[in-house]
């Protein structure tokens, strides 16, 4: 009896761990991202001396354009542009229905909570924070058919780099 209980516990644990790994996007390596999306339509790498050094990978998977930022070897940001079957931007209200699934795919075992976008930035249409404080997501007013999901450490590094560049200290 104890053996069956232990085996059931191990099976549930493995299934849960595997499902969470399959759903995670932020933090995946470049190899994992390429395995998920295939060969990128195009890519661009910023030189190491340009802070923050990063690689941009652009994919098309079905009716979704995906732009991934690789930073320090892992996925630090993903932007999803939702398209109609004709390749046009999906209207905002229809796109909003799919944002929840994209957020859940990047939950990393946590939950998302929607905040007051306008209070954060008047150019935002919607804004979410992950309850573990490790990620955020934004839909901008200028592009309501796309959602950006970013690792908070990457956001902070970009902000720091922008501040340094603004005073002529790029790369320090």
| 6 within a domain of the structure (yes/no) | no
**Tens-digit pLDDT profile for residues 135-146:** 999 999 999 999
Q: Among 34, 33, 102, 19, which Cα is nearest to 63's?
A: 102
Domain presence at residue 10: no
Q: Where does 3-142 show beta strands of DSSP type E? A: 42-45, 55-61, 64-71, 74-82, 112-114, 124-130, 135-140
Tell me the residue range of the domain where 79 lies. 25-166
132 in Cβ contact with 147 (< 8 Å)? no
Query: Which pTM value belongs to this model?
Result: 0.75
Q: Is the bond into 52 cis (omega within 30 degrees of 0)?
A: yes
Read off the tokens for 59: 């994919």
Span 143-155, average pLDDT: 93
- The answer to whether residue 20 scores a pLDDT higher than 80 is no
For residue 99, give the nearest of 127, 68, 67 by alpha carbon.
127
Mean pLDDT of the chain: 80
Distance (Å, rounded) from C-alpha 1 to C-alpha 8?
Answer: 11
How close are the terminal C-alpha atoms of the chain, in Å? 62
What's the domain count of the chain?
Answer: 1
């Amino acid at each position: 009896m104890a053996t069956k209980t232990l085996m059931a516990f191990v099976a549930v644990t493995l299934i849960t761990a595997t499902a969470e790994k399959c759903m995670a996007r932020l933090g995946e390596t470049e190899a994992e991202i390429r395995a998920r999306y295939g060969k990128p339509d195009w890519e661009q790498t910023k030189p190491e001396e340009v802070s923050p050094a990063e690689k941009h990978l652009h994919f098309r998977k079905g009716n979704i354009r995906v732009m991934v930022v690789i930073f320090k070897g892992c996925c630090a940001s993903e932007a999803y542009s939702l398209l109609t079957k004709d390749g046009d931007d999906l209207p905002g209200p229809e796109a909003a229905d799919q944002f929840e699934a994209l957020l859940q795919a990047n939950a990393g075992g946590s939950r998302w909570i929607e905040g007051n976008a306008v209070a954060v930035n008047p150019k935002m249409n919607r804004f979410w924070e992950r309850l573990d404080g490790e990620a955020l997501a934004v839909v901008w007013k200028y592009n309501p058919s796309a959602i950006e999901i970013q690792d908070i450490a990457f956001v902070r590094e970009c902000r720091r780099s922008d501040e340094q560049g603004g005073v002529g200290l790029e790369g320090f």
